[in-house]
Structure formats: structure tokens, C-alpha cells
Structure 1
Amino acid sequence: MLRSAVDDAVRYVLDGARTFRFDLTSSEVDSDERSSVGTKLQYHVIEQLKLRKEPPLDTKILHIPVEIKGTVGKTWMIPQEGQCEITLMIQIDTMRHRFRGLLMRTHRAWLNGKTGNRDRKRSPRADAVRQYADEIVAWTDLPPEPLRQLTLDQLRVVFGPGGITKRVTALFGYLPEVVIPRSSIVTVGARRDDPLRRAREAKSHVLKAHNLVVLVGKWEKDIAAARELGYDLSGAAWVAVPPQKLAQHGYAPADFGR
């Protein structure tokens, strides 16, 4: 659940459907936006864990007040009201596309400085984190973003001129048999009306250009066929597979002609 919360917060800030962005390390993402991931994260954590936004801190777990802090850096900034309280600390490693979760009572004696910054926020000392924080989620990979696998030349095509049909056709040609999340398809079709419908219209082009059959996680038959072939299309993901693989399970390209 924390994995989904972190992924949702990152995608919310990137806003790929409007910006074409899919990578927090991109130069198109400024430092303020990266910092805002931590702010958005608390709401996604509360939603995923089915908690409530509840004073005196961010939420309560088993009736215990808990502060939720996220960072894309190396430390967390603990507000004055959260000092000496239980804090769920989530760290996002943007370069390695992973995260971890720690639980720590952030005693003032374990925080850097005496007064903190102008907002009186203070960060936990690294040695105190190592000694006193409990690791509740070890470093864990975030859900894959296949667009990160593309080379610069491939990205220029996938995000270049020519409309969604051309972009999506190129995308599946570059990434055969790679499960592509719905959000990645929307990013490729950013700023266009109904990008998923337009992307589905590219299926025949993908078959003709690359001899690949696109399975879409919107349709039960596609989902079932993908499962038989070993692909998980949960979350309405997509995958392009060779017709030969489908034939081995009794399917033909015409079975997926929507």
C-alpha cells in the first residue's frame, strides 16, 4: 500500500497527462516540485491505508498520533508539533526509482540544530536514524515506468510530432512484451482528448508495423490472454505480444480487434 501511495504522489506531481513528464530526475521538474512530493505523499498514504486526516498530527494509527513525512532527499524536516512524536518517514530515491519506510519517535535530542530553520523544522541526525528508526519497508522498487527505458532518440519519436497513432505505434515497437501502465499511455497522449481511445485505434498500426498484437487491460478477454502468457494487466495496463505467442494458447490477432 505504501508503494502505491508513493507512486501516486510522484505521478500526481509529474502530471504526465498535461506535461508529458514521467521522471522526477528530469531537468523539466524543478526543485520545488520535487519537494512537493513529500507534501502530497501524506494524503496518498492516508488514503491507501484507509486512515483519516486527524489532529493533533497528520493521522492516528491505533489511536496514536502519527506525523507523516516524505523526502526525495536524504533527510526529513520535522515540524515543531511533530518533534518527540511518532513519525512515519518515507524516503524516495529518484535515481534508482525506489523507496523505503521508517518509523521513529523523533525526539528533539536526536534532531539537528537547536532551533531549526525559520519554520522551526529540524531534521533527524543520520546516526539517530540508523540507531533508533525501525525499518517497516526496506528499499523497494516503485512500479516500473517503461518510458524510462527508452533512449533519447526513441523518446524524440514517442513524444515527437505526428499524433497519438504514430507515437503509440513507435512506443510498442520499442517495448515489445513490456507491460505499459495506463498512466504511461496517457502521458504519451498528453493534452489530447480521450488519449486512450485514440491509442486503442493504433492497434492495427502496431500489428502492421511491428507484427505485435496489443492487449488492453480494459477487456476481460485481453486480460485473460495476457495472464495465460504471463503478463499482469492489472490497473488497465497494456502489452504488445507476438502473434506466435498467442497462437500457442489458441488465440488469433482477430480475437483482439477492438
Structure 2
Amino acid sequence: MKKNIPSSLIVPGHPDHDLLSSLQVEITARAGGTLTLADDFPAMLRTCIDDVIMTPKTGRRCYEELEKTEKTYIGTRVEIELRALLRLKRGRLDTVILDQDVDIKNTMGSNWMIPSEAVNHVCILVAADEARARCYLGLVVARPDYLTAGKNKDGKRSISADGFQHILWLLCDHPYPANFWRTVDEDIVEQIFSCDTGNARMAALFRAMQNQPISRDVVEAVAMQKDFMRRVRSDKGHGTRDLLEQDGILLLQGQLHGQLIKAMDLPHCSPAEFISCRPTTALQHRMAAQAGFNLPQIAG
């Protein structure tokens, strides 16, 4: 998305203010409130993108690796998921809100392509900036004056530089969950995926990425096997947890080890997240032993 987005002109007295403000209130209410929208909308975007990347099945780890048709499908997926999130019905365009025909436009770039049938109608503008892990949700009346003069081969026009001032933002430059693989050094990624077995890849992941929650989706992507959860369990000395214990590393799951995670002063883990750590004190070793772990004894 553009780095410098101008301040919105949608204030009382603007010709689009009353319409867009009423839609903003309706959308926010349908989402369950401002705070819920700020939580659920970014999570929805992350799911839409990751479900198309399909790392566990394809080995791909980022948006740039997608085929052109897959990138286009993300827009369709966002439209479907956003309607579901807000409990909206289909309409003559993409949906109807307060008796207004509304188009839903998504971009992973810096602008949106507005089709001719959406001109002079309200558009919900959705954007995800994967490199910066920021997202956007806005409303605009796609008036001709707000659009570029030039059209693409499909007759679509973009929001003009001045047109950006006529967007009412619900979320602007708002953080959303980063693509996990963008946060990991490429050398570590190569080290993880150079291992031949699921257990070895999982052990490499949790050795390298200690003291931070790891999602179930990442575990599935690294295991690259149907029964991926088996990889994080003990397995007669050969499971991931066994391999890590031999190195003095605990592998904990939010659902099973919430109290131990808290006692170890580790970051909070949701029930579907995992975290590894290396206990360094006698007290931490005793707590681990009481929870059923068998770490090598420390001196003293």
C-alpha cells in the first residue's frame, strides 16, 4: 500500500459523509464493535492469504510465489470471508448494506481496480501489505472524479491520488499477523527444510525459534505430513519432544502446559500454539520434571 496516505476529507459537510458514516456504523456493529473488528478483520486477511499459499501442501512460503490466478483468487476469498464476518447477503454487486449496493475490492498492491458497474456506488476497500504486515479497510463512493482517467484493458479504473482523500478509513495502516516465514532469517529457513524427516524439521524449528509462540499452521507446514501433530509428541525417544529434551530444550503446548509456560515467564500461548525454551535454573528444571519432562540434569 502507499506509504503516504492523505488525511481523509470525509467530515461533516462532505457530500459523502452521511452515507459513509452510516455504513461505517453498520459495519462496525455487525463486526461486534470497533475492538472486535480490529482483531477479527486482520486475522481474516491472514487466513485468506495463507490458505491460498498452502505451505503444508505446496512448500511455498510467501505471496510472491503464487500463480497469477491464485493472487486473483485471494480477492474472491476476501469477498466471501468478509461477507461471512459481517453476516452480509449477496447483492447486485458484491453485497448490500443498508439498502446500498456495495462492491468489495481487495488489493495486495497500492491501489484498487474499480469496474465500470461499481462507479457511483459504495466500495469497501481492503488492502494487505505483506512486507510491512499492515492492513487497511475503508469506504469510498467511487465517483468518476475520484478515479483515474485511464482505464486498463478490462475498462477498470484506479483511485486517483486526490481520490484517496475521499476514503473513510475504518482501519488504516493497522497491524495484522505477519507471514511467519518473513520473520525468520533465510539461513534458518534453509536449515529447517534441509532436514529429511518431519521430526528432524520440527526439532530444527524449535531449536532455532525458542521463547516465541509458534502457530499450529507453522507446525503443519514444517511437518509436511498428515498426522503433523504426532511430530510434536514424545515417540519412544524419536519424537520431536524427545529429540529436544536430549538437548535440554522443552517443547510446550498452550493447551496442555499453560501453567508451566506462565511459570517459566514465557510469552502467552493460545491453545493452538507451541513454544520451546531451554530451562537454565534448578527451579525451572524441577518444574519441568514435575510436568513429566525428562531433561538432562544441570550441575549443582
Q: 1:24 — aligned with what? A: 63
Question: Using a 3 Å threshold, how does the CA distance of structure 1 residues 246 and 231 change in structure 2: closer, same or farther?
Answer: farther
Q: 2:260 — aligned with what? A: 225
Is the CA contact (8 Å cut-off) linking 1:181 and 1:235 kept in structure 2?
A: no
2:110 aligned with 1:71, yes or no? no
Range with bigger deviation, 86-95 or 35-44: 35-44
Unaligned ranges ≥5, structure 2: 1-39, 234-238, 294-300
Is the CA contact (8 Å cut-off) linking 1:214 and 1:241 kept in structure 2?
A: yes
Report the AA paired with residue 17 of structure 1: P
Q: 1:196 — aligned with what? A: 229
The CA distance in 1 between the partners of 2:201 and 2:163, in whole Å, is 49
Q: 2:216 — aligned with what? A: 182
Superposed CA RMSD in Å reads 2.6
Q: 2:52 — aligned with what? A: 13
Report the AA paired with residue 59 of structure 2: F
Shift of 1:87: 1.3
The CA distance in 1 between the partners of 2:269 and 2:292, in whole Å, is 15
Question: Using a 3 Å threshold, how does the CA distance of structure 1 residues 135 and 251 change in structure 2: closer, same or farther?
Answer: same
Question: Using a 3 Å threshold, how does the CA distance of structure 1 residues 125 and 22 change in structure 2: closer, same or farther?
Answer: same
The CA distance in 2 between the partners of 1:168 and 1:179, in whole Å, is 14
Which consecutive segments of 4 or more residues in structure 1 shift more than 6 A? Answer: none
Aligned length: 249
Cα deviations across residues 14-61 of structure 1 (Å, max 9, x unaligned)?
Answer: 011201222224xx3344433432222111222233x13411222233
The CA distance in 2 between the partners of 1:155 and 1:122, in whole Å, is 40
Tell me the SS of whatever aligns to 1:68: strand
Larger radius of gyration: 2
Tell me the SS of whatever aligns to 2:113: coil
Is the CA contact (8 Å cut-off) linking 2:255 and 2:270 kept in structure 1?
A: no
Is the CA contact (8 Å cut-off) linking 2:129 and 2:135 kept in structure 1?
A: yes
Give me the TM-score of the superposition, normalised by structure 2.
0.74
Range with bigger deviation, 147-156 or 244-253: 244-253
The CA distance in 1 between the partners of 2:85 and 2:255, in whole Å, is 23
Is the CA contact (8 Å cut-off) linking 1:164 and 1:199 kept in structure 2?
A: no
Tell me the SS of whatever aligns to 2:287: coil
Question: Using a 3 Å threshold, how does the CA distance of structure 1 residues 6 and 245 change in structure 2: closer, same or farther?
Answer: farther
Percent identity over the alignment is 24
Is the CA contact (8 Å cut-off) linking 1:8 and 1:44 kept in structure 2?
A: no
Unaligned ranges ≥5, structure 1: none
